[in-house]
Amino acid sequence: MMRPVYISSSAAISPQNSFECSLFLKEINCTTQKKLFVQEPDYRQYINPVAIRRMSRLIKMGIACGMKALQNAVVTMPDAIITGTGLGSMTDMEKFLKDMIVLKEEALNPTFFIQSTYNSVNGWLSLQTKATGYNQTFVHRGFSTEMALLDAQLLLNETDEKKNVLVGGFDEMTDEYFLVKSKVNYWKKDPIDSLTLLQNNKTDGTIGGEGAAFFVLSNEKEQALCKLASIRMIQEPNAQKIQEQIETILTAHRLKAEDIDVVISGRNGDLRFENLYDEGFAYLSAGTSEICFKHLTGEYPTATSFAVWLATYLFEKQKTPDVLIYKKGTVKSFKNILIINHYILNTASIVLLQKA
Amino acid sequence: MTDTIVITAVGIISALGAGYQENLQQLLQSKPGLKHPRFLQTLHNDLMLGEVKLSNDSLAGNLGISLAEKPYTRTSLLAITAMKELLQSVNDLHFAPDTLAFINANTVGGMCSVEDMYMPFISEEKEGDFINYIDTLDCAESTKNVTDYFSLQPFTATISTACSSSSNAIIAGAKMIRQGLVERAICGGCDAMSRYTVNGFLSLKNVDKNPCRPFDQERNGLNLGEGAAFLMLEKKEDALKRGAPILAKLSGYNNSNDAYHPTAPSPDGAGAMKTMTEALKYANLQPTDIDYINAHGTATLNNDASEGQAIEKIFGTNVPFSSTKPFTGHTLAAAGAIEAIFSIIALQENCILPNLNFEKPMEELTITPVTTLTKNKPLHHVISNSFGFGGNNVSLIFSKV
Give the H/E segment covering residue B278: helix B270-283
Phi, then psi, of B94 in degrees rounded to 5: -100, 125
Please tell me chain B's helix, strand, coil percentages from 3-state DSSP, rounded to the nearest 5. 35, 20, 45
The total number of structural domains that make up chain B: 2
B84, containing H or E segment: helix B74-88
Q: What is the pLDDT of residues B379-401, one digit of tens each?
A: 999 999 999 988 999 999 999 99
Among candidate residues B197, B220, B221, B213, the one with its CA nearest the CA of residue B334: B197
Name the residue of chain B whose CA is nearest to A116's CA. Answer: B108
Quickly state the pLDDT bin for B95 (edges 50, 70, 90). Answer: confident
Number of residues that this document lists for chain A = 356
The amino acid that residue B390 corresponds to is G
pTM comes to 0.98
pLDDT tens digit string along B10-64? 999 999 999 999 999 999 999 999 999 999 999 999 999 999 999 999 999 999 9
Question: Do A114 and B263 lie within an 8 Å CB cutoff?
Answer: yes
Whether B118 and B73 share a structural domain: yes
User: Do A183 and B131 make contact, defined as CB atoms within 8 angstroms?
Assistant: yes
Helices (H), B204-269: 236-241
Within-domain flag for B248? no
- Interchain CB contacts (distance < 8 Å): A and B: 177
Residue B1: pLDDT over 80: no
Taking residue B134's Cβ as centre, other Cβ atoms within 10 Å add up to 18
Q: Is the pLDDT of residue B78 over 90?
A: yes
> Which residues does residue A337 pair with via DSSP β-bridges, in sequence order?
A262, A353
DSSP 8-state secondary structure symbol assigned to residue A346? T
- Note whether B42 and B76 are same-domain residues: yes
Taking an 8 Å cut-off on Cβ atoms, the answer to whether A140 and B134 are in contact is: no
**Which one of B153, B262, B388 has the shortest CB-CB distance to A235?**
B153
| Amino acid of residue A160 | D
* Cβ–Cβ below 8 Å for B159 and A104: no
Q: Which residues contact A74 (CB under 8 A, 6 or more apart)?
A: none
Residues B75 and B219 in one domain: yes
* Mean pLDDT across chain B: 96
Give the nearest partner residue to A180 out of B122, B155, B175, using CB atoms.
B122
CA-closest candidate to residue A84, choices A213, A204, A201: A213
Name beta bridge partners: B30. Answer: none
Domains belonging to chain A, first-starting first, are 5-218 (3.40.47.10), 230-354 (3.40.47.10)
Active-site positions of B read: 163, 296, 330
pLDDT tens across B204-235, in order? 999 999 999 999 999 999 999 999 999 999 99
Question: CATH number for the domain including B264?
Answer: 3.40.47.10
Looking at the structure, do residues B209 and B61 belong to the same domain, yes or no? yes
Where residue B2 falls among pLDDT bands split at 50, 70, 90? low
Residue B256: which of A114, A118, A132 has the nearest Cβ?
A: A132
Q: Is residue B305 part of a domain?
A: yes
Amino acid letter for position B277: T
- d(C-alpha B246, C-alpha B7), whole Å: 6
Residue A232: its H or E element: strand A226-235
Q: From chain B, pick out residues whose CB is under 8 angstroms from the CB of A184.
A: 131, 134-135
Average pLDDT on B297-307 reads 97
- Which amino acid is located at B81 in the chain? T
Give me the residue from B172, B195, B258 closest to A100, CB to CB: B195
Average pLDDT for B329-347: 98
Residues of B in contact with A236 (CB under 8 A): 153
Residues of chain A with pLDDT under 50: none
At what angle are helices A271-280 and A239-252 packed, to 10 degrees?
A: 40
In this model, does residue B77 exceed pLDDT 50?
Answer: yes
Between CA A122 and CA A137 the distance in angstroms is 7
Q: In DSSP terms, which residues pair with B319 in a beta bridge?
A: none
DSSP state of A23: G
pLDDT value at B92 more than 80: no
Query: Do B129 and B234 reside in the same domain of the chain?
Result: yes
Query: Is residue B247 one of the residues assigned to a domain?
Result: no
Residues of B in contact with A4 (CB under 8 A): none
Are residues B228 and B259 part of one domain? no
Residues in chain B closer than 8 A to A157 (CB atoms): 179
| Tens-digit pLDDT profile for residues A328-343 | 999 889 999 999 999 9
Predicted confidence band at B154 (pLDDT cuts at 50, 70, 90)?
very high
Contact of A284 with A265, CB cutoff 8 Å: no
pLDDT at A332: 81
Q: Mind telling me how many Å the CA of B127 is from chain A's nearest CA?
A: 8
Distance CA B55, CA B78 (A): 10
Pairwise CA distance, residues B360 & B227, whole Å? 30
Q: Which of B217, B241, B265 is the last residue of a domain?
A: B241
Choose from B168, B257, B273 for mutation: most chain A CBs within 10 A.
Answer: B257
Q: Are B181 and B101 in contact (CB under 8 A)?
A: yes
Q: Tell me the residue range of the domain where B123 lies.
A: 5-241
* % pLDDT > 70, chain B: 100
Same domain? B203 vs B56: yes
